[in-house]
Amino acid sequence: MEQASAGVLLMFRHWSLVIFLIGGLLVYAAYSPAVRPAALVVAIVEKFAIGVLVAVSPARNVRLALVAGGDAIMASIYLLYLMGR
């Protein structure tokens, strides 16, 4: 495997871990109201960040745009929930 491919694979694995951890945090927050605001802020920042990164990336394509759009929708729902508390 060439150097660039190994680096990309490492980043994908890290991104997968981040997604898993934030998902776990959100599940935990669903049953623990005390940590819910902090967990939602973390998820909102991560989900909007991927949208911004895709928007400014020269590698953006339709699939990445769909992922970023879905994440932006979820972040908006989390934000609306947080504002309505």
Q: Which residue has the tokens 């932006």?
A: 72
Q: What is the pTM of this model?
A: 0.83
Per residue of the chain (85 residues), what is the pLDDT tens digit? 566 688 788 888 988 999 999 999 999 999 999 999 999 999 999 999 988 988 898 888 888 889 899 999 999 999 999 999 7
Report domain extents, the chain: 3-84
The tokens of 52 are what?
């911004």
If you count them, how many residues does the chain have? 85
d(CA 11, CA 13): 5
Question: Which residues have CB under 8 Å from 79's CB, separation 6+?
Answer: 40, 44
Helix (H, G, I), strand (E, B) or coil at 25: helix
Q: Which residue has the tokens 């699939």?
A: 63
pLDDT of residue 57: 87
Question: Which residues have CB under 8 Å from 39's CB, separation 6+?
Answer: 25, 26, 28, 29
pLDDT of residue 75: 95
